[in-house]
Chains A and B, each alone.
Chain A
Amino acid sequence: KAGVTQTPRYLIKTRGQQVTLSCSPISGHRSVSWYQQTPGQGLQFLFEYFSETQRNKGNFPGRFSGRQFSNSRSEMNVSTLELGDSALYLCASSRDITSGANVLTFGAGSRLTVL
């Protein structure tokens, strides 16, 4: 089955611009999470969506936002870009189970460079 698809894979923006990243989860997966990965901070949790509702949120400023559509596809948006927003943005999907451990499947990421 198809994996988690993220688009675009690479993009370059300038400070002050805004960017929208897209994530298509594995078919049947209803939970989508977003993470920011940088060399200095590692993987940091941004937010999680389940059934079109934000279920968890990390410690990022309001410039970072997201949404999930009825088909479980998700987008995240970063407004007023800053140099420090340069990072690999990873999306992960999961089936969402009620017991045991939830297994995340990650996409290949969208690498954002802010100049």
Chain B
Amino acid sequence: TQLLEQSPQFLSIQEGENLTVYCNSSSVFSSLQWYRQEPGEGPVLLVTVVTGGEVKKLKRLTFQFGDARKDSSLHITAAQPGDTGLYLCAGSTRNTGKLIFGQGTTLQVKP
């Protein structure tokens, strides 16, 4: 059974702090995606990484895919209250609609 473990599960920080969320698995994924979900809404895709060692930046967010394609991290620099939400990593082994999701990291950024 493929599993994705995210850590930490909960994170409460002050505005301006940096943080990193981790997503780990014993399985190899062909691609890994990060989503953010706000209350009452569905997850919204932030980024997709497909190459081992790949690093992608989206403004203050930096995403990294592990060399072995088993793990990923999301780093947020100078967090803002608007970053508050549930962050989900999701892995895929085939080009289908079946994604394996991590449990999610609930981030609260206090002003």
In the complex, what distance in Å separates the CA atom of A50 from the CA atom of B95? Answer: 12
Q: Which residues of A contact B (CB under 8 A)?
A: 4, 31-33, 35, 42-45, 48, 50, 55-56, 58, 90, 92-94, 96-109
Known contacts A55-B96, A56-B98, A92-B97: does B42 contact A101 (CB below 8 Å)? no
CB-based contact B88/A43 at 8 Å: yes
Please measure, in the bound complex, the distance between the C-alpha atom of A99 and the C-alpha atom of B95, giving whole angstroms.
7
Is B68 interfacial (CB 8 A cutoff)? Answer: no
CB distance from B41 to the nearest CB of A (A): 5
Given contacts A48-B97, A104-B33, A108-B40, 14 further A-B contacts (CB under 8 A): A33-B97, A33-B98, A33-B99, A42-B101, A43-B101, A45-B101, A96-B95, A96-B97, A101-B33, A101-B48, A101-B50, A102-B95, A106-B43, A109-B42
B residues lining the A interface (CB < 8 Å): 30-31, 33, 35, 40-45, 48, 50, 88, 90, 92, 95-104
Q: How far is the CB of A21 from chain B (nearest CB, A)?
A: 13
Q: B interface, by DSSP: helix, strand, loop or mixed?
A: loop
The contact of B42 among A42, A97, A107, by CB within 8 Å, is A107
A18 to chain B, nearest CB (A): 24
Question: Are B102 and A42 within 8 A (Cβ)?
Answer: yes
Instruction: Collect the chain A residues with CB atoms within 8 Å of residue B100's CB.
Output: 45
- CB proximity of A68 to chain B, nearest CB, Å: 11
Q: Is the Cβ of B41 less than 8 Å from the Cβ of A108? A: yes
Q: List 8 A-B contacts (CB under 8 A).
A: A31-B96, A33-B97, A33-B99, A92-B42, A102-B92, A106-B35, A106-B42, A108-B41
Min Cβ gap B46→A in Å is 11
Compute how far the CA of A102 lies from the CA of B95 in the bound complex, rounded to whole angstroms. 5
In the complex, are the beta carbons of B97 and A101 less than 8 A apart? Answer: no
- Which of chain B's residues have a CB closer than 8 A to the CB of A104? 33, 45, 97, 99
